[in-house]
Structure 1
Amino acid sequence: MGVGRVVEVAQSLVQGFVALLSAPAHIVLVGLDSSGKTTVLFRLRYGQYVNTTPTVGFNCEKVKSGGAHWLVWDVGGAERVRPLWRSYTRATDALVFVVDSSSSAERVEEARVELQRLSKQQVAECVAHNRPRPPLLVLANKQDLPGAREPQHLAKALGLPDLPECQPWAVAPACAVTGEGLDEAMAALHTLVLKTRKQQKNKK
């Protein structure tokens, strides 16, 4: 192989490696209906409030937030479509579970049940394919509304402290309508994703 060809191959490998490193992380927004998932997505994408309608299927956008690029899937949260979450969350880099912080105790309990169910599905998927658990960010949305629960209280109500130690998680306050707290929340998620990737790399 000539010197020119060697240089060409080396450049191709470097470019491929750089592309791999800069590829946006794949994340999925899930949560109960009316929790504000689509408002979160469009706020991240367009930097402003966009009036939305209930998501029947899914929305997908590339966004930049929290110092990272993301490919974000927003999946409908109506009860009849929640069984589809499993299909979208396979092999994802991270999960964002959006919760209406001002909702009733019954709705918070409903969110807890769905989150725990999803967590168990993730365990089975990761064990079957020998993958690390994707980081989980619980977004305590609608902090601007009266009676909104503080993130720490919401974390306890959702059973986050009871998740297995191998499950990285964080909870962050936000208001998707104004955008307040979203960039900080995505920065926290980015930190979790990088930490998970580093741990996986060290195991190899």
Structure 2
Amino acid sequence: MVMGVGRVVAAAQSLVLGLVSLVAGPPHVVLVGLDSSGKTTALLRLKYGQYVNAVPTVGFNCERVRSGGYQWLVWDVGGCERVRPLWRSYTRATDALVFVVDSSSGRDRLEEARVELHRLARQQGVESAAHNRPRPPLLVVANKQDLPSARPSHELAVDLGLSDLPPTQTWALAPACAVTGEGLHEAMEALHALMLKTKRMPRPWK
């Protein structure tokens, strides 16, 4: 099969970026989201490959995990209201962001998640512009898809206003269940694809 020039160039770029990541070490990823959204459960599922009963995170957790065929250094930061101002410190200069949402949340809770997600995106825009670098890619994990009241991905995308994010903010939304692990590896594959897409983006990045 003969590949077009554009596809050959894209494949070469992906190979080079993959080799660079091997030299530089695993990407730095930060898990954020409201409290009780399932961030720590997702992290421990990725780490150990099985369900681990997690207690609410007051500060942070950090684990090296392998998922979607790639190595990651994942920071899981507490999501209660008094801890959220600290997200900025953990997300500064990160390679990627994962925002975990409880898909079964009511309207008020989803609105709270939307506000926090967009606040974080604005902060990342300011930080990225100040350091002349692209915004880190954003993966929204629609967790708890096993619950009867879970909203489907297309509804959550609207509820969270993902289409209102700046064009320079690469993002994706992935349904998952941290308890069973369903969808998590596919989500991390999607995050890797977002990272490659972000690195290929032309300037300006604002």
* TM-score bracket, shorter-length normalisation: 0.7 to 0.9
Per the alignment, residue 65 of structure 1 pairs with 67
Could you give the per-residue CA deviations for residues 4-49 of structure 1, whole angstroms, max 9, x where no partner exists? xxxxxxxxxxxxx767546111100000000000000000000000
Distance 1:59 1:168 in 2: 25
Distance 1:178 1:164, change over 3 A: same
Could you list the runs of 5+ residues in structure 1 that have no partner in the other structure?
A: 1-16
Residues 1-204 of structure 1: matches in 2 within 5 Å? Answer: 21=23, 23-199=25-201
Could you list the runs of 5+ residues in structure 2 that have no partner in the other structure?
A: 1-18
Q: Please identify which structure carries the higher helix content.
A: 1
User: Which secondary structure state, in structure 2, belongs to the residue aligned with residue 79 of structure 1?
Assistant: coil
Deviation >6 Å, runs of 4+: none
User: Which secondary structure state, in structure 2, belongs to the residue aligned with residue 77 of structure 1?
Assistant: coil
Whether contact under 8 Å (1:54, 1:76) holds in the other structure is yes
Distance 1:178 1:31, change over 3 A: same
Whether contact under 8 Å (1:45, 1:63) holds in the other structure is yes
Shift of residue 198, structure 1, vs aligned partner: 3.0
Distance 2:135 2:21 in 1: 24
Across the two proteins, how many residue pairs are aligned to each other? 186
Distance 2:160 2:111 in 1: 7
Shift of residue 147, structure 1, vs aligned partner: 1.2
> Larger Cα Rg: Structure 1 or Structure 2?
1
User: Which secondary structure state, in structure 2, belongs to the residue aligned with residue 55 of structure 1?
Assistant: coil
CA RMSD of aligned residues (A): 1.7
The residue type equivalent to 2:65 in the other structure is: V
